[in-house]
Amino acid sequence: GDRPTFSFIGVALEGDRRTAIFLMEDGQVVIVGVGGALEHQYRVGGIEEAAVTIFDSNGTVRRHELR
């Protein structure tokens, strides 16, 4: 389905560049920068201090916040 198969679990700083950390359904941890792909249908649009914006292949935007 179109339900994301990942959880947003953190933000890392590499120099002055933020990267978003995701936990995938299979237990794999994936680190993605702005513009990077997450699985096939998702792309990271923006990374804030405690939130990330993700676009899917339909252009739908979702904002995920750290809990």
Which of the two residues, 3 and 39, has the higher pLDDT score? 39
Q: 3-class DSSP state for residue 35?
A: coil
Region for 62 from its dihedrals, namely left if φ exceeds 0, alpha if ψ lies in -120 to 50, beta otherwise: beta
Give residue 2's pLDDT. 58
Q: pLDDT, tens digit, for every residue of 31-48?
A: 999 999 998 899 999 999
Place of tokens 């935007």: 61
Contact of 42 with 34, CB cutoff 8 Å: no
* Interatomic CA distance for residues 60 and 56, integer angstroms: 5
